[in-house]
């Protein structure tokens, strides 16, 4: 890795105008980084694309509404970076997030990806979202990921056949491929909970997606004669 390594920061958004500016600003606050910022507008009707276009050096791509996994994949296909990072439109990176992850990947040349801790933050009217939420936890989430580009070459794109659990499916497949992860043991991502988070929606679709991913994983691992360790790791 060199100091000039390019990091592609991919941000999918669907009707995220209320939070999008702060999310983009938290990417731009990652100082001394060579960044490529790609916002994929997934059929928004609230002016999200126009908000993103108001920032300098932000590439905006529009597509018809296809779901967050398809939007992330659209960004991946355009990304030119040596490293890949993601942020959702309603979440925030804290200062130094990318620098800490890059440093850890530089220390361990065998590591394929780096995660951070995450804190879930309930939004309070009139505030931006101070860290008042639950205890920190390991973020096996796309928002907490910095991966070498080669990791996606090995694992593939996200599975866009499910709308709510494609990131967990990707991490299971990454474990199956033997990718090595390292962790920055600090809270560097705030996941803001506001009642309308797509990935946390309490409806039958979430349960259906979870069961679909488990079935696909079990079928794949039986075919390949593998253990269930990847599922157990993700479920822990």
Mean pLDDT, residues 148-172: 92
Taking CB atoms within 8 Å and a gap of at least 24, the contacts of 56-64 are 58/24
Distance CA 153, CA 81 (A): 13
Per the prediction, the chain carries an average pLDDT of 86
Distance CA 37, CA 144 (A): 16
pLDDT tier at 180, thresholds 50, 70, 90: very high
Lowest mean pLDDT among 31-45, 118-132, 140-154, 194-208: 194-208
pTM of the model: 0.83
**pLDDT of 127 over the 60 cut:** no
**Residue 135: its pLDDT value, please?**
84
Distance CA 167, CA 142 (A): 6
- Domain residue extents for the chain: 6-235
178 vs 126, higher pLDDT: 178
Domain formed by 6-235, architecture: Alpha-Beta Complex (3.90)
**pLDDT of 222 over the 70 cut:** no
**pLDDT of 202 over the 60 cut:** no
Q: List the one residue out of 213, 191, 193, 189 whose CA is nearest residue 98.
A: 189
Tokens of 201: 């929606």
Q: 181-193 and 91-93 as β-strands: parallel, antiparallel, unpaired?
A: antiparallel
């Amino acid at each position: 890795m060199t100091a000039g390594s390019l990091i592609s920061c991919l941000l999918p958004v669907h009707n995220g105008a209320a939070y999008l500016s702060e999310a983009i600003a938290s990417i731009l606050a990652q100082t001394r980084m060579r960044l490529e910022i790609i916002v994929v507008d997934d059929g928004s009707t609230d002016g999200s694309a126009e908000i993103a276009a108001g920032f300098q050096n932000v590439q905006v791509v529009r597509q018809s509404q296809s779901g967050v996994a398809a939007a992330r994949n659209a960004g991946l296909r355009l990304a030119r970076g040596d490293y890949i990072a993601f942020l959702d439109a309603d979440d925030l990176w804290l200062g130094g997030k990318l620098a800490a992850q890059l440093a850890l990947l530089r220390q361990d040349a065998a590591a394929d990806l780096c995660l951070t801790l995450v804190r879930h933050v309930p939004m309070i009217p009139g505030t931006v979202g101070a860290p008042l939420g639950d205890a920190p936890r390991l973020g096996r989430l796309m928002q907490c990921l910095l991966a070498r580009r080669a990791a996606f070459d090995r694992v593939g794109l996200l599975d866009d056949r499910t709308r709510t659990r494609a990131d967990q499916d990707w991490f299971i497949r990454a474990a199956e491929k033997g990718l090595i992860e390292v962790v920055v043991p600090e809270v560097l991502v705030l996941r803001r909970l506001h009642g309308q988070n797509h990935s946390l929606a309490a409806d039958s679709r979430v349960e259906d997606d979870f069961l679909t991913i488990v079935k696909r994983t079990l079928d794949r691992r039986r075919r390949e004669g593998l253990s269930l360790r990847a599922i157990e790791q993700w479920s822990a």
